[in-house]
Amino acid sequence: MQLVHTIADLRAALAPYQSPAFVPTMGNLHDGHLDLVRQAQPLGDVTVSSIFVNRLQFAPHEDFDTYPRTLQADCARLEQAGCDIVFAPPEKELYPEPQGYKIQPPADLADILEGHFRPGFFIGVCTVVMKLFQCVFSEAKGPRYALFGKKDYQQQMVIRRMVQQFCMPIQVLAGETQRAADGLALSSRNGYLSESERAEAVQLSMSLRALARDALAAAGSLPEKREALEAQAMRALALRGWQPDYLTVRRRADLQPPRAEDALAPQSMVVLGAARLGRTRLIDNFEI
Ligand code: PAF
């Protein structure tokens, strides 16, 4: 496995290949990331991962400074998972000057849910992903693949639409969320949890499963009942000491509230949630 830090070295390392399969990350890797790398392997003729903590997608009060940087351990795990090239640029390599040009994703998809509670988050994500795609795919001649985890459900939708609207010849694939034995979705931020918070953390996924059951039971009357069901789910978490941002039932197609016909159609909805436990903000979702 080759570790490169500059765009020039990355392009040189990729020169012999036609068809990269790419897994962008911010490092501090867990089995969810490694699962994406393993899925990437048979797709292209070279498997590439990036490790870059992207300042642009963090608000000033968020955890950019404390986000765990574990490059050595990440590289060992990537090598074991079969990654061929790791691109770990220093900040000045990707942002040699203040990033004036930015990707503004559409409000209907990107200003709701995560985008509502983390304004500017998807501008930062789309901008760095666009730059990473330029670095990884610019010389490719064959099919190009990019893989994202479904735990960041809205993120993979926003990126998929960006790729479509900019006519980028890249297949965006989404990997299933990997979970701990108790059901907690794997996340780099789980490491922030204290022992007691870690034991409690699974309640977010349990609340979302309960909301999913209630939504399915409501069937065609979901549009009238949805807000009350969501409020009940959020209240239950708040009573356990959480600060929920949202727990909600949405259409898979566009993350808008389901209409009666969506609620009756199979595999058309997703429940999504974000909530803070102590100082840690966790997100999760289930397709239903
Ligand atoms: O999901 C992440 O880790 C990040 O948002 C991404 C896609 C690597 C962009 O910084």
Full domain range(s) for residue 277: 188-287
pLDDT of residue 105: 98
73 and 167 in a single domain? The answer is: yes
Give Dmax (Cα) for the chain. Answer: 57
Q: Are residues 147 and 18 in the same domain?
A: yes
How much is the mean pLDDT over the chain? 98
CB half-sphere exposure, 44, CA atoms < 13 A:
33
**What was the pLDDT predicted at 1?**
98
| Total structural domains within the chain | 2
Contacts of 257 (CB under 8 A, 6+ apart): 223, 226, 248, 249, 250, 251
> Do 134 and 269 lie in a common domain?
no
Last residue of a domain, one of 117, 148, 175: 175
Q: Is residue 278 part of a domain?
A: yes
pLDDT tens sequence across 60-101:
999 999 999 999 999 999 999 999 999 999 999 999 999 999
Which pLDDT score, from 0 to 100, does residue 12 have? Answer: 98
Distance 274 CA to ligand 1 centre (A): 17
164 in the same domain as 56? yes
- Closest ligand 1 atom, residue 149 Cα: 1
In the chain, % of residues over pLDDT 90: 100
Model pTM above 0.95: yes
- Ligand 1 site residues (CB inside 6 A) read 24-26, 54, 57, 125, 128-129, 152, 155
Tens digits of per-residue pLDDT, 165-220?
A: 999 999 999 999 999 999 999 999 999 999 999 999 999 999 999 999 999 999 99
CA 192, CA 209: separation in Å to the nearest integer? 24
Q: Is 33 labeled as catalytic in the residue annotation?
A: yes
117 and 10 in one domain? yes
In the reported structure, the alpha carbon of residue 228 is separated from the centroid of ligand 1 by a whole-number distance in angstroms of 33
Identify the domain boundary among 175, 210, 244: 175
For atom 8 of ligand 1, the residue with the nearest CA is: 25
Q: Residues 97-125: what's their mean pLDDT?
A: 98
Looking at the fold, whether 162 and 265 belong to one and the same domain comes out as no
What is the C-alpha to C-alpha distance for residues 83 and 92, in angstroms, rounded to an integer? 24
Last residue of a domain, one of 140, 175, 210: 175
Question: How far is C-alpha 229 from the geometric centre of its chain's CA atoms?
Answer: 26
- In a domain? residue 180: no
Ligand 1 atom 2: the closest Cα is on which residue? 25
Asked whether residue 29 is marked as a ligand-binding residue, the answer is yes
Ligand 1 centroid from CA 42, angstroms: 22
Domain harbouring 74, CATH code:
3.40.50.620
